[in-house]
């Protein structure tokens, strides 16, 4: 999942709805009785491309990572505080959601 987020973020896309229900698994067989499981990030319905003026991978300034999307989107339990408060947000909103999902996977509990 982290690799998928890294990839879409490198394309300047914010996923905006990371939750366990949007993580899928696919079994891959190579024809020689070798199987592997691939993790898939699904449902890009709320994903949005960052404006071209925002280049988070080329500048370390936090202000350049933010942009003003309005409206509350996603699933409240996994939503970053910036989205909940209708404040400007960017790629870091997905990182927050991934931390909530990861916490749940590792502890089998909710962080709050």
The residue length of the chain stands at: 112
Our answer to whether residue 94 is catalytic in this structure is no
d(CA 21, CA 17) in angstroms, rounded, equals: 10
Q: Which of 41, 44, 38 is nearest to 16 (CA)?
A: 44
Q: Which amino acids are annotated catalytic?
A: 17
């Amino acid at each position: 999942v982290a690799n998928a987020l890294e990839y879409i973020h490198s394309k300047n896309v914010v996923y905006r709805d990371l939750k366990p229900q949007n993580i899928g698994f696919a079994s891959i067989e190579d024809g020689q009785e070798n199987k592997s499981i691939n993790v898939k990030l699904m449902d890009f319905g709320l994903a949005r491309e960052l404006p071209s003026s925002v280049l988070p991978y080329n500048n370390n300034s936090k202000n350049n990572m933010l942009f003003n999307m309005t409206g509350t989107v996603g699933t409240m339990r996994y939503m970053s505080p910036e989205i909940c408060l209708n404040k400007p947000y960017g790629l870091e909103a997905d990182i927050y959601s991934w931390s909530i999902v990861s916490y749940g996977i590792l502890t089998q509990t909710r962080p709050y």
